[in-house]
Amino acid sequence: MEKEKYFDQLLNFYRICLDIKSPIADFTLIQDSQTRLAIEEIFAHSSCPNILDYGCGKLRLFNALLSKKGNSKWAYYGVDMEDPLTSHQDLRNDFSKFQKMKNRFETGSILNVREFTEKFDSIVFMNVLHELSIFDIATAIEDARQLLKKNGNLFFIDTVLLREGEPRFVPFYGWEIEELFTDYKNKSYVTKSGIPIMFFVIPQKGIPCFHNTPEKLYYFFNYKLNSWSLLSNSINESDSILARKKLGLGKSSVFDYGYINTIIANANYRLIEYKKYEIDPAQITKSLVRFISIIEKNYWDNNHIPSFEEIYIILKMEFNYSVIYSMLKYLESAHILFPFRESNAPISFSEVWDILVERIGIEKISDLGFSRSILEANTLHYNEYL
Protein backbone atom coordinates (compact mmCIF):
# COMPACT_ATOMS: atom_id res chain seq x y z
CA MET A 1 0.00 0.00 0.00
CA GLU A 2 2.83 2.38 0.88
CA LYS A 3 4.49 1.87 -2.50
CA GLU A 4 1.16 2.34 -4.32
CA LYS A 5 0.69 5.68 -2.53
CA TYR A 6 3.98 6.95 -3.95
CA PHE A 7 3.13 5.61 -7.40
CA ASP A 8 -0.10 7.66 -7.29
CA GLN A 9 1.82 10.71 -6.03
CA LEU A 10 4.32 10.38 -8.88
CA LEU A 11 1.52 10.00 -11.44
CA ASN A 12 -0.15 13.16 -10.16
CA PHE A 13 3.25 14.92 -10.22
CA TYR A 14 3.64 14.02 -13.91
CA ARG A 15 0.13 15.24 -14.72
CA ILE A 16 0.85 18.68 -13.29
CA CYS A 17 4.27 18.84 -14.99
CA LEU A 18 2.54 18.22 -18.34
CA ASP A 19 0.03 21.05 -17.89
CA ILE A 20 0.41 23.99 -20.25
CA LYS A 21 0.39 26.58 -17.46
CA SER A 22 2.10 26.52 -14.08
CA PRO A 23 -0.20 26.26 -11.05
CA ILE A 24 -0.71 29.64 -9.36
CA ALA A 25 -1.07 30.16 -5.62
CA ASP A 26 -4.56 31.36 -4.77
CA PHE A 27 -5.39 34.93 -3.75
CA THR A 28 -6.51 33.63 -0.34
CA LEU A 29 -3.23 31.83 0.48
CA ILE A 30 -1.89 34.39 2.96
CA GLN A 31 -1.16 32.43 6.14
CA ASP A 32 1.84 30.50 4.82
CA SER A 33 5.34 31.02 6.26
CA GLN A 34 6.79 32.52 3.06
CA THR A 35 4.25 35.34 2.88
CA ARG A 36 4.42 36.02 6.61
CA LEU A 37 8.23 36.24 6.67
CA ALA A 38 8.32 38.32 3.47
CA ILE A 39 6.05 40.96 5.01
CA GLU A 40 8.05 40.95 8.26
CA GLU A 41 11.31 41.54 6.37
CA ILE A 42 9.83 44.18 4.06
CA PHE A 43 8.64 46.28 7.00
CA ALA A 44 11.83 45.64 8.95
CA HIS A 45 13.68 47.59 6.25
CA SER A 46 11.10 50.33 5.61
CA SER A 47 8.17 51.65 7.64
CA CYS A 48 6.39 52.88 4.49
CA PRO A 49 7.58 50.59 1.68
CA ASN A 50 6.96 50.95 -2.03
CA ILE A 51 6.74 47.30 -3.13
CA LEU A 52 7.13 45.69 -6.56
CA ASP A 53 5.81 42.11 -6.69
CA TYR A 54 7.64 40.60 -9.70
CA GLY A 55 5.69 37.56 -10.93
CA CYS A 56 2.74 38.41 -8.71
CA GLY A 57 0.42 35.61 -9.88
CA LYS A 58 -3.02 36.08 -8.30
CA LEU A 59 -1.86 38.90 -5.99
CA ARG A 60 -1.68 36.88 -2.78
CA LEU A 61 1.13 39.11 -1.44
CA PHE A 62 -1.15 42.11 -1.93
CA ASN A 63 -3.99 40.34 -0.11
CA ALA A 64 -1.61 39.41 2.72
CA LEU A 65 -0.51 43.05 3.00
CA LEU A 66 -4.14 44.14 3.25
CA SER A 67 -4.80 41.52 5.90
CA LYS A 68 -1.69 42.02 8.04
CA LYS A 69 -0.70 45.64 7.34
CA GLY A 70 -3.99 47.21 6.32
CA ASN A 71 -3.53 50.14 8.68
CA SER A 72 0.09 50.79 7.71
CA LYS A 73 1.35 53.00 4.91
CA TRP A 74 2.61 51.14 1.85
CA ALA A 75 2.21 51.05 -1.94
CA TYR A 76 2.03 47.95 -4.12
CA TYR A 77 2.72 47.28 -7.80
CA GLY A 78 2.12 43.74 -9.06
CA VAL A 79 3.46 42.58 -12.44
CA ASP A 80 3.31 39.28 -14.29
CA MET A 81 3.57 38.12 -17.90
CA GLU A 82 0.07 39.58 -18.29
CA ASP A 83 -1.72 42.09 -16.09
CA PRO A 84 -3.20 39.86 -13.35
CA LEU A 85 -6.51 41.74 -13.31
CA THR A 86 -6.85 40.93 -17.02
CA SER A 87 -5.61 37.34 -17.03
CA HIS A 88 -7.34 36.17 -13.81
CA GLN A 89 -11.02 36.99 -14.11
CA ASP A 90 -11.78 35.37 -10.75
CA LEU A 91 -9.95 38.27 -9.07
CA ARG A 92 -12.82 40.53 -10.13
CA ASN A 93 -14.78 39.08 -7.22
CA ASP A 94 -12.35 40.86 -4.88
CA PHE A 95 -12.31 44.10 -6.87
CA SER A 96 -13.66 46.09 -3.92
CA LYS A 97 -10.35 45.44 -2.12
CA PHE A 98 -8.41 46.90 -5.02
CA GLN A 99 -10.61 50.00 -5.25
CA LYS A 100 -10.00 50.80 -1.59
CA MET A 101 -6.29 51.18 -2.29
CA LYS A 102 -6.79 53.74 -5.09
CA ASN A 103 -3.38 55.37 -5.70
CA ARG A 104 -1.52 52.78 -3.58
CA PHE A 105 -2.28 49.81 -5.82
CA GLU A 106 -1.37 49.13 -9.46
CA THR A 107 -0.88 46.11 -11.69
CA GLY A 108 0.73 45.62 -15.08
CA SER A 109 2.90 43.47 -17.32
CA ILE A 110 6.54 42.51 -16.72
CA LEU A 111 7.18 43.68 -20.28
CA ASN A 112 6.54 47.27 -19.17
CA VAL A 113 8.80 47.43 -16.11
CA ARG A 114 11.62 49.15 -18.00
CA GLU A 115 9.32 52.08 -18.58
CA PHE A 116 8.96 52.67 -14.84
CA THR A 117 10.42 55.92 -13.57
CA GLU A 118 9.72 55.35 -9.87
CA LYS A 119 12.02 53.36 -7.60
CA PHE A 120 11.05 50.70 -5.08
CA ASP A 121 12.05 49.94 -1.49
CA SER A 122 11.37 46.22 -1.95
CA ILE A 123 11.21 43.99 -5.02
CA VAL A 124 9.85 40.52 -4.29
CA PHE A 125 10.32 37.35 -6.34
CA MET A 126 8.18 34.75 -4.58
CA ASN A 127 8.29 31.30 -6.20
CA VAL A 128 9.29 32.75 -9.56
CA LEU A 129 12.93 31.79 -10.21
CA HIS A 130 12.31 28.08 -10.74
CA GLU A 131 9.93 28.90 -13.64
CA LEU A 132 12.29 31.12 -15.64
CA SER A 133 14.73 30.56 -18.49
CA ILE A 134 18.39 31.54 -18.13
CA PHE A 135 17.99 34.81 -20.03
CA ASP A 136 14.75 35.63 -18.19
CA ILE A 137 16.47 35.23 -14.81
CA ALA A 138 19.36 37.45 -15.92
CA THR A 139 16.94 40.06 -17.29
CA ALA A 140 14.89 40.05 -14.08
CA ILE A 141 17.99 40.57 -11.94
CA GLU A 142 19.12 43.56 -14.01
CA ASP A 143 15.60 45.03 -14.02
CA ALA A 144 15.51 44.71 -10.22
CA ARG A 145 18.91 46.36 -9.83
CA GLN A 146 17.76 49.41 -11.77
CA LEU A 147 14.32 49.66 -10.19
CA LEU A 148 15.48 49.49 -6.56
CA LYS A 149 16.24 52.56 -4.50
CA LYS A 150 19.88 52.81 -3.39
CA ASN A 151 18.86 51.57 0.06
CA GLY A 152 16.28 49.13 -1.33
CA ASN A 153 16.24 45.34 -1.08
CA LEU A 154 15.63 42.44 -3.43
CA PHE A 155 13.81 39.42 -1.98
CA PHE A 156 14.31 35.98 -3.51
CA ILE A 157 11.94 33.46 -1.95
CA ASP A 158 11.58 30.08 -3.60
CA THR A 159 10.33 26.61 -2.72
CA VAL A 160 13.30 24.33 -3.37
CA LEU A 161 11.19 21.15 -3.41
CA LEU A 162 8.06 21.16 -5.58
CA ARG A 163 6.42 17.87 -4.69
CA GLU A 164 3.36 18.64 -6.76
CA GLY A 165 5.38 19.60 -9.83
CA GLU A 166 5.26 22.41 -12.38
CA PRO A 167 5.90 22.57 -16.13
CA ARG A 168 9.65 22.91 -16.86
CA PHE A 169 10.56 23.83 -13.29
CA VAL A 170 14.22 23.77 -12.25
CA PRO A 171 14.90 24.23 -8.50
CA PHE A 172 16.99 27.26 -7.55
CA TYR A 173 19.32 26.94 -4.55
CA GLY A 174 20.88 29.23 -1.98
CA TRP A 175 24.42 28.55 -3.16
CA GLU A 176 23.47 30.04 -6.55
CA ILE A 177 22.36 33.27 -4.88
CA GLU A 178 25.63 33.38 -2.93
CA GLU A 179 27.60 33.04 -6.18
CA LEU A 180 25.60 35.68 -8.06
CA PHE A 181 25.49 38.49 -5.49
CA THR A 182 28.16 40.30 -3.50
CA ASP A 183 26.03 41.06 -0.43
CA TYR A 184 23.03 39.22 1.02
CA LYS A 185 21.30 37.91 4.13
CA ASN A 186 20.44 34.23 4.11
CA LYS A 187 17.11 33.67 5.86
CA SER A 188 16.46 30.23 4.35
CA TYR A 189 14.64 27.64 6.44
CA VAL A 190 12.88 24.27 6.38
CA THR A 191 9.10 24.09 6.91
CA LYS A 192 7.47 21.87 9.52
CA SER A 193 6.63 19.42 6.73
CA GLY A 194 10.33 19.22 5.74
CA ILE A 195 10.30 21.37 2.60
CA PRO A 196 13.41 23.60 2.13
CA ILE A 197 12.60 27.26 1.46
CA MET A 198 15.23 29.54 -0.07
CA PHE A 199 14.88 33.03 1.43
CA PHE A 200 17.46 35.73 0.66
CA VAL A 201 17.43 39.50 1.22
CA ILE A 202 19.83 41.29 -1.14
CA PRO A 203 20.60 45.04 -0.85
CA GLN A 204 20.73 47.03 -4.08
CA LYS A 205 24.48 47.54 -3.71
CA GLY A 206 24.92 43.75 -3.67
CA ILE A 207 23.42 43.29 -7.16
CA PRO A 208 26.12 43.41 -9.85
CA CYS A 209 25.53 44.95 -13.26
CA PHE A 210 24.27 42.46 -15.86
CA HIS A 211 27.74 41.46 -17.01
CA ASN A 212 28.41 37.68 -17.16
CA THR A 213 25.16 36.74 -15.39
CA PRO A 214 23.89 34.46 -18.22
CA GLU A 215 27.20 32.55 -18.34
CA LYS A 216 27.12 32.03 -14.58
CA LEU A 217 23.53 30.81 -14.74
CA TYR A 218 24.40 28.45 -17.60
CA TYR A 219 27.18 26.99 -15.46
CA PHE A 220 24.80 26.58 -12.51
CA PHE A 221 22.18 24.78 -14.61
CA ASN A 222 24.85 22.51 -16.10
CA TYR A 223 26.27 21.75 -12.65
CA LYS A 224 22.81 20.90 -11.31
CA LEU A 225 22.14 18.68 -14.34
CA ASN A 226 25.32 16.69 -13.70
CA SER A 227 24.74 16.47 -9.94
CA TRP A 228 21.18 15.25 -10.35
CA SER A 229 22.28 12.73 -12.99
CA LEU A 230 24.77 11.21 -10.54
CA LEU A 231 22.10 11.20 -7.83
CA SER A 232 19.61 9.46 -10.12
CA ASN A 233 22.08 6.72 -10.99
CA SER A 234 22.87 5.99 -7.34
CA ILE A 235 19.31 6.23 -6.05
CA ASN A 236 19.53 3.31 -3.60
CA GLU A 237 22.99 3.97 -2.19
CA SER A 238 23.33 5.32 1.37
CA ASP A 239 25.03 8.57 0.26
CA SER A 240 22.18 9.18 -2.18
CA ILE A 241 19.56 8.83 0.55
CA LEU A 242 21.32 11.50 2.65
CA ALA A 243 21.61 13.82 -0.36
CA ARG A 244 17.94 13.35 -1.21
CA LYS A 245 16.91 14.20 2.36
CA LYS A 246 18.80 17.50 2.09
CA LEU A 247 16.63 18.30 -0.92
CA GLY A 248 13.46 17.51 1.05
CA LEU A 249 13.09 14.10 -0.62
CA GLY A 250 14.12 10.72 0.74
CA LYS A 251 10.74 9.19 1.62
CA SER A 252 10.37 7.04 -1.48
CA SER A 253 13.00 5.99 -4.02
CA VAL A 254 10.17 5.50 -6.55
CA PHE A 255 8.94 9.10 -6.30
CA ASP A 256 12.46 10.51 -5.95
CA TYR A 257 13.66 8.73 -9.09
CA GLY A 258 10.80 10.17 -11.13
CA TYR A 259 11.20 13.63 -9.59
CA ILE A 260 14.97 13.81 -10.10
CA ASN A 261 14.78 12.63 -13.71
CA THR A 262 12.10 15.21 -14.43
CA ILE A 263 14.29 18.08 -13.24
CA ILE A 264 17.22 16.58 -15.17
CA ALA A 265 15.11 16.80 -18.34
CA ASN A 266 13.97 20.35 -17.47
CA ALA A 267 17.53 21.56 -16.76
CA ASN A 268 18.70 20.05 -20.04
CA TYR A 269 15.86 21.83 -21.84
CA ARG A 270 16.91 25.19 -20.34
CA LEU A 271 20.52 24.63 -21.44
CA ILE A 272 19.45 23.77 -24.99
CA GLU A 273 17.07 26.74 -24.99
CA TYR A 274 19.95 29.04 -24.02
CA LYS A 275 22.25 27.69 -26.74
CA LYS A 276 19.55 28.02 -29.37
CA TYR A 277 18.49 31.50 -28.29
CA GLU A 278 18.57 33.62 -31.43
CA ILE A 279 19.33 37.32 -31.33
CA ASP A 280 18.64 39.36 -34.43
CA PRO A 281 22.06 40.43 -35.87
CA ALA A 282 20.46 43.62 -37.19
CA GLN A 283 19.43 44.55 -33.63
CA ILE A 284 22.98 43.95 -32.38
CA THR A 285 24.34 46.17 -35.17
CA LYS A 286 21.82 48.90 -34.30
CA SER A 287 22.76 48.69 -30.62
CA LEU A 288 26.47 49.02 -31.52
CA VAL A 289 25.80 52.10 -33.66
CA ARG A 290 23.74 53.61 -30.85
CA PHE A 291 26.45 52.68 -28.33
CA ILE A 292 29.13 54.48 -30.36
CA SER A 293 26.95 57.57 -30.74
CA ILE A 294 26.37 57.66 -26.96
CA ILE A 295 30.12 57.43 -26.27
CA GLU A 296 30.90 60.17 -28.78
CA LYS A 297 28.20 62.52 -27.50
CA ASN A 298 29.17 62.08 -23.85
CA TYR A 299 32.88 62.48 -24.56
CA TRP A 300 32.73 65.47 -26.89
CA ASP A 301 29.90 67.31 -25.13
CA ASN A 302 30.81 66.57 -21.50
CA ASN A 303 34.31 65.05 -21.60
CA HIS A 304 32.77 62.05 -19.87
CA ILE A 305 33.14 58.37 -20.70
CA PRO A 306 30.06 56.53 -19.41
CA SER A 307 30.10 53.28 -17.46
CA PHE A 308 28.47 49.98 -18.46
CA GLU A 309 25.74 50.82 -15.94
CA GLU A 310 24.98 54.12 -17.66
CA ILE A 311 25.05 52.53 -21.09
CA TYR A 312 22.50 49.93 -20.07
CA ILE A 313 20.19 52.56 -18.57
CA ILE A 314 20.31 54.57 -21.82
CA LEU A 315 19.89 51.58 -24.17
CA LYS A 316 17.26 49.66 -22.20
CA MET A 317 14.34 51.60 -23.69
CA GLU A 318 15.45 50.75 -27.23
CA PHE A 319 16.80 47.20 -26.95
CA ASN A 320 16.08 44.17 -24.82
CA TYR A 321 18.53 42.72 -22.32
CA SER A 322 19.90 39.96 -24.58
CA VAL A 323 20.77 42.41 -27.38
CA ILE A 324 22.66 44.84 -25.10
CA TYR A 325 24.37 41.99 -23.28
CA SER A 326 25.47 40.27 -26.52
CA MET A 327 26.78 43.48 -28.06
CA LEU A 328 28.90 44.35 -25.02
CA LYS A 329 30.15 40.77 -24.63
CA TYR A 330 31.24 40.61 -28.28
CA LEU A 331 33.09 43.91 -27.97
CA GLU A 332 34.87 42.63 -24.89
CA SER A 333 35.74 39.20 -26.33
CA ALA A 334 37.14 40.93 -29.45
CA HIS A 335 39.38 43.04 -27.17
CA ILE A 336 37.67 46.25 -28.22
CA LEU A 337 36.53 46.89 -24.67
CA PHE A 338 38.72 45.84 -21.77
CA PRO A 339 37.13 43.71 -19.04
CA PHE A 340 36.03 45.84 -16.12
CA ARG A 341 35.88 45.29 -12.39
CA GLU A 342 33.27 47.87 -11.36
CA SER A 343 30.09 48.36 -13.39
CA ASN A 344 29.96 52.06 -12.46
CA ALA A 345 33.58 52.74 -13.57
CA PRO A 346 34.21 54.45 -16.95
CA ILE A 347 34.50 52.07 -19.89
CA SER A 348 38.04 51.34 -21.05
CA PHE A 349 38.85 51.02 -24.77
CA SER A 350 41.59 49.38 -26.83
CA GLU A 351 43.26 50.50 -30.07
CA VAL A 352 40.72 48.36 -31.96
CA TRP A 353 37.97 50.72 -30.78
CA ASP A 354 39.71 53.68 -32.44
CA ILE A 355 39.90 51.77 -35.71
CA LEU A 356 36.28 50.66 -35.45
CA VAL A 357 35.04 54.20 -34.82
CA GLU A 358 37.46 56.39 -36.79
CA ARG A 359 38.54 54.21 -39.72
CA ILE A 360 35.36 52.21 -40.29
CA GLY A 361 32.74 54.56 -38.87
CA ILE A 362 29.05 54.34 -38.07
CA GLU A 363 27.77 54.38 -41.66
CA LYS A 364 29.97 51.49 -42.75
CA ILE A 365 29.14 49.53 -39.59
CA SER A 366 25.46 49.84 -40.51
CA ASP A 367 26.22 48.54 -44.02
CA LEU A 368 28.64 45.76 -43.05
CA GLY A 369 26.79 44.53 -39.98
CA PHE A 370 28.16 43.85 -36.51
CA SER A 371 30.26 40.72 -37.11
CA ARG A 372 31.96 41.89 -40.31
CA SER A 373 32.71 45.31 -38.76
CA ILE A 374 34.43 43.69 -35.77
CA LEU A 375 36.38 41.35 -38.06
CA GLU A 376 37.55 44.23 -40.27
CA ALA A 377 38.56 46.31 -37.24
CA ASN A 378 40.64 43.46 -35.84
CA THR A 379 42.24 42.81 -39.26
CA LEU A 380 43.23 46.48 -39.63
CA HIS A 381 44.57 46.50 -36.08
CA TYR A 382 46.65 43.38 -36.73
CA ASN A 383 48.10 44.84 -39.95
CA GLU A 384 48.98 48.20 -38.36
CA TYR A 385 50.08 47.38 -34.85
CA LEU A 386 51.23 43.75 -34.76
Q: Write the pLDDT tens digit of every residue in 305-351.
A: 888 888 888 898 899 889 998 998 888 888 888 765 567 778 888 88
Exposure of 370 in the CB half-sphere (CA atoms within 13 A): 24
Report DSSP state, residue 74.
Answer: -
Q: In terms of Cα–Cα distance, which of 142, 120, 123, 125 is closest to 48? A: 120
| Average pLDDT of the chain, as a whole number | 87
Q: Does the pLDDT at position 104 exceed 80?
A: no
pLDDT range class, residue 97, cuts 50, 70, 90: low
Helices (H), the chain: 2-17, 33-45, 60-69, 84-87, 95-101, 134-147, 174-180, 213-232, 238-246, 253-276, 281-302, 308-315, 321-333, 351-354, 361-368, 370-385
Local confidence band at 7 (pLDDT 50, 70, 90 cut-offs): confident
Q: What is the pLDDT of residue 203?
A: 96
Instruction: Give the confidence band of 286 by pLDDT, cuts at 50, 70, 90.
Output: very high
Q: Residues near 335 by Cβ (< 8 Å), separated by ≥ 6? A: 350, 352, 378
155: DSSP letter: E
For residue 91, what pLDDT is reported?
62
Is a pLDDT exceeding 90 seen at residue 148? yes
Q: What is the DSSP letter of 337?
A: B
Predicted confidence at residue 185, as pLDDT, reads 96
Per-residue pLDDT band for 270 (boundaries 50, 70, 90) equals very high
276 pLDDT band, cuts 50/70/90, is very high
Helix (H) or strand (E) run with residue 196 in it: strand 196-203
Q: At 78, give phi and psi (nearest 5°).
A: -105, 125
What integer pLDDT is reported at residue 112 of this predicted model? 86
The whole-model pTM stands at 0.89
Q: Which residues pair with 196 in a beta bridge?
A: 190
Q: What is the pLDDT of residue 126?
A: 95
* Mean pLDDT to the nearest integer, 350-365: 88
Once rounded to an integer, what is the mean pLDDT over residues 150-172?
91
Considering only residues 21 and 199, tell me which one the structure prediction assigns the higher pLDDT.
199
pLDDT value of position 22: 73
**CA of 203: how far to CAs of 153, 178, 211, 227, in Å?**
4, 13, 18, 30
Q: Of 174, 202, 211, which is closest to residue 189 (Cα–Cα)?
A: 174
209-214: average pLDDT: 80
Percent pLDDT > 70 in the chain is: 92
171 has a pLDDT exceeding 80? yes
pLDDT at 194 over 90: no
Whole-angstrom distance, CA of residue 130 vs CA of residue 140: 13
How far, in Å, CA of 232 to CA of 70, rounded? 47
- 355 vs 104, more confident: 355
Residue 185 half-sphere exposure, CB side, CA atoms within 13 Å?
A: 9
Cα separation, 10 vs 213, in Å, equals 34
Q: What would the mean pLDDT of 146-161 be, rounded to a whole number? A: 94
User: Facing residues of 156 across strands?
Assistant: 125, 200
Q: What is the pLDDT of residue 140?
A: 94
Q: Which of 197-201, 245-249, 298-302 has the highest mean pLDDT?
A: 197-201
- pLDDT-derived band at 177, boundaries 50, 70, 90: very high
